[in-house]
Amino acid sequence: MVRNFSHLPASPVSFNELIRKVEKEKGGVIRFDVAQPYFNPPETAIPATVKALNEGFIHYAPTRGLYELREAVSKFIKEARNLFFNPENEIIIVPGGKFGIFSFFSAVLEPGDQVILLSPYWPTYKSIPLILNGEVVEVPTLPPFKLDEEKIKEAVTCRTKVLVVNTPNNPTGGLLNKEDLKLIVDLAVDHNFYVLSDEIDWPLVYEGKKHYSPLNFEEARERTILIESFSKIFAMTGWRIGYAAGSKELIEAMDVIQQHSVSGPATFVQKACIKVLEDPFPYLRKMVKECSEKRKITLKTLGEIKKLKFQKPYGGFFIYPDISNYGLDSETLTKELILEAQVAVAPGTMFEKEGFRNIRICYALKNQELIEGLKRMKEFFKRKVSEK
């Protein structure tokens, strides 16, 4: 019998069928629902990919990834955030950050182990443990994305195996501060559980805020796995490549999972990433600057919409407005936005139990689409106010 996965949270792409239907009947839908930066990748990415293909890098690579790429990743992490991981045995190259998450959970979870999620959260963090017969405990955060110390302490039990950290947070754009992360690390040490730290959007912080990691604390080193990717910060979603960094023990276990599943990322893709990491920081500075401008445009327009409530996000490229003043739950409002305004957002029910109050907006669009989409959104909400 095929397993029933109806208990898993919906993916943000679950409205794709409705979007395709509307596009066929009415024309284009502006996609604020997809967590994808609509930027060109670094100038070297495509030529380096083609060059690697032409030079014959079309066969298997080591399952942990090319050593040259692991070495480049180690150098990048060290230069960017003063964190050192040995490329020999503390880094693994994975076919997308999502598979890094899958292989980590596969490596550490036994049936019945508990995974703590800080809510709201990216739905994959919940789906993978459930697929692996783990249990998920959701702990609500305080707006915009701050730990509730009492609730998180209550959630930890003798069966807690992993706590997931995602900062900047998807879907809120919130940042965990140093005190929040120290609390998590202390709990992990005291109760002997792992921390999965997904820092895929780490450079994208604004207005003088800083990004912090659990790995800024030495005591987190042996029990934290760092997940990052080329997808978001280098706009290379189609290359499907990321990396995980952690203790030798964790990386060895994840390597076993990779050996017996996907074998590893494409060799020519890895060669392209080596080239990208030769001089990554000018590109990253440009992306942060452009995302900051898009954020300003988005906050200004949303701030002009009557009855729409939101917390200002300081990271990522997301905003998570509260739409409860309009008398519609998030899924109904999402459908109406697609049908009436040809604008797609992601309903909050994909990210938390109480998500019927919220929608996620990803503002990393091309400027023309961003401005037009926000205009349509503003007109849509204006109509909803008048209808009430």
Q: What is the pLDDT of residue 136?
A: 98
Average pLDDT, integer, range 49-61:
98
Predicted confidence (pLDDT) at residue 388 exceeds the cutoff of 90:
no
Parallel/antiparallel/unpaired status of strands 318-319 and 224-229:
unpaired
| SS3 assignment, position 140 | strand
Residue 119 phi/psi, 5° resolution? -95, 135
Q: Domain check: are 241 and 100 in the same one?
A: yes
Residue 218 is encoded by which pair of tokens?
């030495």
- Domain enclosing residue 383, as ranges: 12-40+282-387
* 240 plus 350 within the same structural domain: no
Question: What is d(CA 129, CA 134) in angstroms, rounded to the nearest whole number?
Answer: 5
User: Which residue, among 241, 8, 252, 235, has the nearest Cα to 131 in the 3D structure?
Assistant: 8
Please tell me whether residues 198 and 333 are part of one structural domain. Answer: no
Same domain, 234 and 361: no
**pLDDT of 143 strictly over 90:** no
CB-based burial label for 280 (10 Å; 0-12, 13-18, 19+): buried
Look at phi and psi of residue 161 and say left if phi exceeds 0, alpha if psi is from -120 to 50, else beta: alpha
Q: Which of 219, 246, 278 is the last residue of a domain?
A: 278
- Whether the CB-CB separation of 132 and 109 falls below 8 Å is answered with yes
Query: Which tens digits make up the pLDDT trace of 199-231?
Result: 999 999 999 999 999 999 999 999 999 999 999
Strand order in the sheet with 114-119: 91-94, 242-245, 224-229, 194-198, 160-166, 114-119, 135-140
Per-residue confidence band for 103, with pLDDT thresholds at 50, 70 and 90: very high
Instruction: Calculate mean pLDDT across residues 89-112.
Output: 98
Residues 336-383 pLDDT 10s: 999 999 999 999 999 999 899 999 999 999 999 999 999 999 999 999
Note whether 382 and 365 are same-domain residues: yes
- Same domain, yes or no: 311 and 179: no
Residue 375 placed within a domain: yes
Residue 239 lies in a domain: yes
CA 388 to CA 326: how far, in whole Å? 8
Mutual orientation of helices 124-131 and 97-108 as an angle, nearest 10°?
40
> What CATH number does residue 380 fall under?
3.90.1150.10
Same domain, 213 and 227: yes
Percent composition of the chain: helix, strand, coil (DSSP 3-state, to 5): 45, 15, 40
Q: What is the pLDDT of residues 245-273, one digit of tens each?
A: 999 999 999 999 999 999 999 999 999 99
With respect to residue 3, please indicate whether it lies within any of the assigned structural domains.
no
Instruction: Assess if residue 5 is contained within a domain.
Output: no
At 12 the pLDDT is: 62
- Of 278, 299, 325, which closes a domain? 278
Q: CA-to-CA distance for 193 and 208, rounded, in angstroms?
A: 32
Same domain, 380 and 231: no
Residue 366 near residue 323 (C-beta atoms within 8 A)? no
Residue 339: partners with Cβ closer than 8 Å, 6 or more residues away: 18, 22
Q: Alpha-carbon distance 96 to 211, whole Å?
A: 22
How many domains, the chain?
A: 2
* Residues 6+ positions from 359 with CB-CB distance below 8 Å: 320, 321, 323, 330, 333, 334, 345, 346, 347, 348
Between CA 170 and CA 232 the distance in angstroms is 12
**Structural contact between residues 322 and 330, judged by C-beta atoms closer than 8 angstroms:** no
Question: Which backbone phi and psi does 220 adopt, to 5 degrees?
Answer: -85, -15
Q: Would 2 be classed as within a structural domain?
A: no
Query: Tens digit of pLDDT for each residue in 297-313?
Result: 999 999 999 999 999 99
For residue 81, give both structure tokens.
């955030």
Which of 221, 252, 278 terminates a domain? The answer is: 278
Quote the mean pLDDT of the chain: 96
The pLDDT, as a whole number, for residue 209 is 96
What confidence tier does 144 reach under pLDDT thresholds 50, 70, 90?
A: confident
Give the start-end residues of each E strand in the chain: 30-31, 91-94, 114-119, 135-140, 160-166, 194-198, 224-229, 242-245, 318-319, 343-344, 346-347, 359-362
DSSP string over 288-357? HHHHHHHHHHHHHHHHTSTT-B-PPP-BTTEE--B-GGGT--HHHHHHHIIIII-EE-EEGGGT-TTGGG
